[in-house]
């Protein structure tokens, strides 16, 4: 079984006297910075001016500075910028200003694993990755809990770096939920696989295909929306609480029989073969290269797809219906 660390395995004193720079006051940055500060850690913020996140950092009582200036002062530098921008900011502002012996941190291993952030000699790399979005990292901590995290160190890291990583995880509340030991390769590859195949890519296409099938067969789009998208939440809540068994215990026997007999006709051998192919593209760096190049070109395909997907009938119907469900806290982007 995996090694999992809890509160008693971590000692905040390993961060005593150290300065932690959080680079980027976004989703993860604002949460991790505030949790660490509440845990007594000396935190400074590297955040570019001109946007709402800069103002937010000030509102929260920090004095944001440039990534370069924050790096110069820091013993631990955590890069919490969007993954596709980290390489450029690292090369221009962070790498030239790293103190000797500083620790370079991240919450997702993409850039370390695929060579976009290359630490200089003597700089250890450390990953502490919360398994949840930033607002939860903050709100769970405030409630006295914590979002579970992953921890990994780069090749050749000193034993002290792991202790600092555990102290960091404790400081953001992670050891309250459990901190699983992994490697940067495992974190990066499984994270990409999960989001591409199941959580984001898989779910989105499944919902779209189900919705379109019903609408094309002449059923009302509103019915198709409720059946194929809205009700998904009820199922996911059951999975979250009690796995497949509890979900199947809670649904009707008819639904359970349909699950066993029809599900395998949707995720077929062909689908599994494609999953393996997608995993290979992740492992070989083919996906990373594609995504990095897409960004270097200004992300034209990415932006066009985003626009098209937003304008779909599924999204139109959903927007309209969600507005009428005042209790669901509907969001629009």
Return the active site residues.
108
Within positions 191 to 230, which residues make up the interface with Mg ion, using CB under 5 A?
Answer: 191, 195
Smallest distance from the beta carbon of 236 to ligand NDP, in angstroms? 17
Q: Is 99 in the site for ligand NDP (CB under 6 A)?
A: no
C-alpha span between 152 and 181 (Å, rounded) = 6
Smallest distance from the beta carbon of 288 to Mg ion, in angstroms? 13
What are the binding residues for substrate?
Answer: 252
Between the alpha carbon of residue 54 and those of residues 88, 105, 107, 124, the distances in Å are 20, 21, 20, 28
Q: Is 108 in the site for ligand NDP (CB under 6 A)?
A: yes
Residue 24 or 171: which CB sits closer to ligand NDP? 24
Q: What are 93's two structure tokens?
A: 């502002």
**What is the enclosing helix (H) or strand (E) of 103?**
strand 103-106
Longest dimension (CA), the chain: 67
Provide the pairing of β-strand 124-130 with 149-153: antiparallel
Smallest distance from the beta carbon of 108 to ligand NDP, in angstroms? 3
The binder of 43, among ligand NDP, Mg ion, none, by C-beta within 5 to 8 A per type, is none
Q: Is 187 in the site for Mg ion (CB under 5 A)?
A: no
Q: Is 85 in the site for ligand NDP (CB under 6 A)?
A: yes
Which one of the spans 78-86, 97-105, 116-124, 230-238 is the region binding ligand NDP (CB under 6 A)? 78-86
Query: With the CA atoms of 209, 214, 217 and 219 taken in that order, what torsion angle do they form, in degrees rounded to the nearest 10?
Result: -150
| Residue of 5, 27, 90, 292 interacting with ligand NDP (CB under 6 A) | 27
User: How deeply is 61 buried, as exposed, middle or buried, from its count of CB atoms within 10 A (0-12, 13-18, 19+)?
Assistant: exposed
Smallest distance from the beta carbon of 249 to ligand NDP, in angstroms? 31
Quick check: 173 and 147 in contact, CB under 8 A?
yes
């Amino acid at each position: 079984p995996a090694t999992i660390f809890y509160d008693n395995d971590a000692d905040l004193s390993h961060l005593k006297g150290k300065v932690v720079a959080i680079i980027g006051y976004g989703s993860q940055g604002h949460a991790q910075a505030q949790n660490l500060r509440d845990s007594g850690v000396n935190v400074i913020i590297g955040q570019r001016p001109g946007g709402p996140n800069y103002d937010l950092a000030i509102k929260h009582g920090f004095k944001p500075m440039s990534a370069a200036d924050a790096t110069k002062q820091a013993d631990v530098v955590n890069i919490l910028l969007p993954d596709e921008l980290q390489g450029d900011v690292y090369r221009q502002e962070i790498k030239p200003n790293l103190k000797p012996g500083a620790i370079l941190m991240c919450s997702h291993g993409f850039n370390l694993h695929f060579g976009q952030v290359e630490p200089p000699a003597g700089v250890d790399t450390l990953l502490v990755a919360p398994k949840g979005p930033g607002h939860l990292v903050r709100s769970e901590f405030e409630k006295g809990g914590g979002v579970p995290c992953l921890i990994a160190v780069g090749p050749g890291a000193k034993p002290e770096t792991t202790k600092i990583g555990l102290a960091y995880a404790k400081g953001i509340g992670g050891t309250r939920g459990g901190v699983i030991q992994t490697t940067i390769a495992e974190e990066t590859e499984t994270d990409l696989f999960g989001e591409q195949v199941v959580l984001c890519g898989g779910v989105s296409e499944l919902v779209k295909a189900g919705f379109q099938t019903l609408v094309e067969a002449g059923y009302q789009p509103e019915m198709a929306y409720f059946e194929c998208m809205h009700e998904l939440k009820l199922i996911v809540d059951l999975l979250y609480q009690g796995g497949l068994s509890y979900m199947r215990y809670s649904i009707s026997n008819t639904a359970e029989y349909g699950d066993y007999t029809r599900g395998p006709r949707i995720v077929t051998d062909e689908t599994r073969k494609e999953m393996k192919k997608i995993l290979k593209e992740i492992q070989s760096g083919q996906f990373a290269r594609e995504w990095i190049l897409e960004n270097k070109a200004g992300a034209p395909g990415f932006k066009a797809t985003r626009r098209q997907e937003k304008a779909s009938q599924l999204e139109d119907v959903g927007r309209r219906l969600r507005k009428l469900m005042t209790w669901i806290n509907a969001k629009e982007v």
